[in-house]
Structure 1
Amino acid sequence: MASDEEFQKLIKRINELAHKAKNEGLTDLEIIERKDLRQRYLKRFREGFKSQVEMMRVFDKNGKEVTPEKVKKVQRKKGLRDD
């Protein structure tokens, strides 16, 4: 997985290409680059989101844990739970 610095560079380049596309258009190579960058961004986003969901614990208003069993199972498999 890319570091945060690399991720920020990825976002910066995506934004540069978006700006250029809006103002003057992109070359064929830039269109290909934009597609690749977007795919890399989405992959990183999905990995991060999945990790957040896997780490979450849900509690009701009375303080009782109501984390979905599917999430608990993943957490146990990864050694994040000992219940």
Structure 2
Amino acid sequence: MFSTTYLGLSFPQLRPPSFDCHHTDKKSMELHYQSSRCGLAPMVIGLIHGLGKRFETKVDITQTSFRDQGEHHDIFSIQYEDS
């Protein structure tokens, strides 16, 4: 397994994105996605759907804040339900 220290030394130009989650109730959360690269919000949506499939959890994700429209970062509202 790689550590962030190892990755930082191996790839000094690496600027990884950050993900921060806040539960809004028992079956929903808000995901804050920050990256130095623009245009990757659709990839985040795909990743969340893929995680839902992997863990057999129904996931509904809606983007509520758009960096490409001038916001500081992308924000997603996620509703989930165990299958």
| TM-score w.r.t. length of structure 2 | 0.25
Larger strand proportion of the pair: 2
Larger helix proportion of the pair: 1
> Highest relative contact order (Cα 8 Å, sep 6+), 1 or 2?
2
